[in-house]
Amino acid sequence: MPTYAYRCRECTTTFELNRPMSDAGAPAACPEGHDDTVKLLTTVALTGRSSPSSAPSATPAAAPAGGGCCGGGCCG
């Protein structure tokens, strides 16, 4: 079941609720009993590896060339 984050506009408490996706838009009361809450936008970071057969082949990025003050030899 997804977890949704909310913030109370009255007491500024941030809290989370586990609820079905079908109830994602339903109002949520804060733990202090206030009804003026807003659902927060949360992001999900997915990490992991895909199998070599499903991942497109990528060419390694070229190393950056010189330039700039310390990369161009003007320091020291």
Low-confidence ranges of the chain (pLDDT < 70): 50-76
36 neighbors 9 (Cβ within 8 angstroms):
yes
**Per-residue pLDDT at 49:** 76
pTM of the predicted model as reported, rounded to 2 decimal places: 0.55
**Per-residue pLDDT at 51:** 63
Q: Where are the domains of the chain?
A: 1-30
66 neighbors 75 (Cβ within 8 angstroms):
no
Query: Which structure tokens are listed for 32?
Result: 């202090």
